[in-house]
Amino acid sequence: MRSPSLLALDFDGVICDGLFEYFQTAWRAYCQLWNPDKTPPTEEVAQTFYRLRPVVETGWEMPVLIHALESGFSEAVILQEWPNLALELLHHHRLNPKEVGAIVDRIRDQWIAQDLPSWLSEHRFYPGVIDRLKATENFVIISTKEARFIRQLLQEQGVEIQDDRLFGKEKQRPKYEILRQLKPHYGTIWFIEDRLKTLQMIEKHPELTDVELFLADWGYNLLRDRDIAQQSDRLHLLSLDQFQRSFDLWS
Ligand SMILES: [Mg+2]
C-alpha cells in the first residue's frame, strides 16, 4: 500500500473516548423515563454499559440499555439479542425510538447549555493519538459529533483544525459521501473508523475502492466485528500501537 496523501478519521471511538459522557447522558435519560429508586448508578452498571457500548447504534438505545441492565438481562443475552430486545423493551413500555431519542438529545443539549466545561471534561483522548495527529501533515475528521465541540476538545490539546478539515454532524451527510467529495482533491485516502457497519457501507461504493479502510480495534466495536475486519480482503484491523507508528507498519 502506498502511504496516504490524506488521513481521514472518525472522532468518537478513534480519537476521543466519550464513554463517560455517553453513560452520564444515558443515565439521566433513564432516570427521567423509568424513575428508579436508587440513584446514582452503581459502578457495576457503568462498567457493564462501557463494555456493551458497541451494541448501541442510535442515541435512543442508550437509556434502554441501562434499563435492560437494571432489569437483570445478562451481558451475554444483550450481546446476542440487542436490536430485538431493545425494541421489545420499548414497546413493552409504550415508548418509541423518536421520543426516547428526543429525551436523550434534550438532556445532552441542556447539559451543554448549562455547563459546557463539565460536559467537555467527560471526554478523554486515547493514549498517543494527539501526538500522532500533531505529527500527521494532512488529516480530516469526519464525525457525527458537532464540529464546534470537536474543535474545542482538540484546542484544549493544542491541535488547531481548519474548517475545511472538519466534517461534523451539521454537515448531515453520510461518511461515504464526504469521502467521495474529498477524493478528487487528494490522491490516496486512508480512513479510520471504529464502527464496522460504516466501513461496510463504504465498501459498497465502487468509486471508493481505492480508499483504504481501517477498523480501530481500540474503539467501540466487539470481538465479532474485529474478526470480520481481520478476515476481510478489503478491511484492515488497526491497533492503537500501529496507529502511532509510521504508515508502512499499518497492515
Ligand atoms: Mg466512532
- Contact yes or no for 234/23 (Cβ under 8 A): no
Domain end among 83, 100, 120: 120
Query: Ligand 1 centroid vs 13 CA: distance in angstroms?
Result: 4
pLDDT on residue 103: 97
* Distance from the alpha carbon of residue 68 to the mean position of ligand 1, in angstroms: 23
Same domain for 147 and 132? yes
Per-residue pLDDT of the chain (251 residues; tens, 9 = 90+): 778 999 999 999 999 999 999 999 999 999 999 999 877 899 999 999 999 999 999 999 999 999 999 999 999 999 999 999 999 999 999 999 999 999 999 999 999 999 999 999 999 999 999 999 999 989 999 999 989 999 999 999 999 999 999 999 888 899 999 999 999 999 899 999 999 999 999 999 999 999 999 999 999 999 999 999 999 999 999 999 999 999 999 97
**CA–centroid distance, residue 84 to ligand 1 (Å):** 22
Cα(35) to ligand 1 centroid in Å equals 30
What does pTM read for this prediction? 0.93
Q: Are residues 67 and 105 in the same domain?
A: yes
* Residue 5 alpha carbon to ligand 1 centre in Å: 22
- pLDDT reported for residue 251: 79
Residue 187, pLDDT score = 85
Please tell me the distance between residue 192's alpha carbon and the centre of ligand 1 in angstroms: 9
Residue 144 maps to a domain: yes
Same domain assignment for residues 168 and 82: no
Residue 186 Cα to ligand 1 middle (Å): 23
Supply the CATH number for residue 160's domain: 3.40.50.1000
* Residue the block writes with cell 508502512: 248
Q: Are 212 and 234 in contact (CB under 8 A)?
A: no
The residue segments making up the domain with residue 49 are 19-120
DSSP for residue 146: -
Compute the distance from residue 36 Cα to the ligand 1 centre, in Å.
Answer: 30
Residue 237 included in any domain = yes
Ligand 1 geometric centre to CA of 38 (Å): 31
pLDDT of residue 127: 97
Residue 171, in any domain of the structure: yes
Q: How far is CA 128 from CA 37, 132, 133, in A?
A: 41, 6, 9
Cell of 12: 468518537
Contact 130, 159 (CB under 8 A): yes
What is the whole-number distance in angstroms between the Cα of residue 1 and the centre of ligand 1?
Answer: 24
**140-174 core/surface letters (b: 16 or more CB in 10 A; e: else):** bbbbbbebebbbebbeeeebebeeeebbbeebeee
**According to the model, what pLDDT value does residue 170 have?**
84
